[in-house]
Structure 1
Amino acid sequence: MTSPRPLRADAARNRARIMTAAHEQITEHGPGVSMEQIAAASGVAVGTLYKHFPNKTDLVAAVVAAAFTAVAEDAEASLQRADQGSPAITEFTGFLTRLMDVAAHNHAVKAAARDLHADHDAHPAMREVEARAAEALTRLVRAAQEQRGLRADFTVDDVYLLFSTFPADQPPAARERWLALVFTGLTAS
């Protein structure tokens, strides 16, 4: 099996512009935004968009995968800083704060993942990204527990529970209060 040829420079630029525009358009208008709107926002012809993404599901899946990849990279960077001596609980709560901020500002990508079934079961790339994030978070949680900063019964599954119950639709002050209360409950006694 041969690996795909790298994109020409102009094709790579077009793909990057399409991804940026798709993210912005989905964030602003939701997953119902048309391919024509995305093409116009990216400054490419609709045919060019379809060369890169044969259908809307593929485009939305790519946008969702990019968002999830950023979360995995953040988790890995938090773990790396903890491995280099930063308090693991500080890195963990910082990661959660950033994750909740993304959730508060990116409802559309979450809706797109739900609506178009762009989840890890449907897309193998999502499985890989989720595994990366889970591995980094598992190690970060364990380090915070070993340093006695995080309650001993907390698990990575609890991160998903917190994320699913985060009051993303509330004003910033309410979200900050929610996080403060959660952090108080997470710290080891």
Structure 2
Amino acid sequence: MRRTMIATACLLLAAPALAQSIGEKTGVNSALGVSPSTADFVKQVAISDMFEIESNKLAQQKGNAAEKTFATQMVTDHTKTSTELKGLVSGGKVKVELPAALDSSHQSKLDKLKGTSGRDFSSEFNSMQVSAHKEAVDLFERYAKGGDNSDLKDWAGKTLPALKHHLEMAQDLDKNSAPTVGEGKK
């Protein structure tokens, strides 16, 4: 019992040092519709943008025509949101440190994409894009509703329609490349 209490106390003391809260990292906040902390939001957005830019640069090289068109739009749009986020942070409106590299989860997804080609690439890429944009829409919706930094909250609300459009585009990519035999319309 004493060991459990000591371990719990250590976790509680270390929690502020962690770059992302346990609730956000495990998806509990998303399931409950709880707004992420400003630090979690900024970290996730920065990593998401880095992943989008890098994965879509791969698609510009390896993808089919539709994926290349999509990828060009994603690189442009996510470079823009990344620049806007950096501006909010460097301008002092948001007091959070931006991550300099992908986290291990996103890096492993990117590595997986690098090792594929042809239909395997398309299948992985399209699935990752749908998933990433669903997560981004959820994250931005939660922060726009309940975020604690008004400038960042406004920016999240203004950025949300573009992310919803990206999700629709990703879902269209996924539909167009998926086998249609035996599938019904949604």
What is the TM-score when the length of structure 2 is the normalising length?
0.37
Higher relative contact order (CA 8 A, sep 6+): 2
- Structure having the larger proportion of residues in helix: 2
What is the TM-score when the length of structure 1 is the normalising length?
0.37
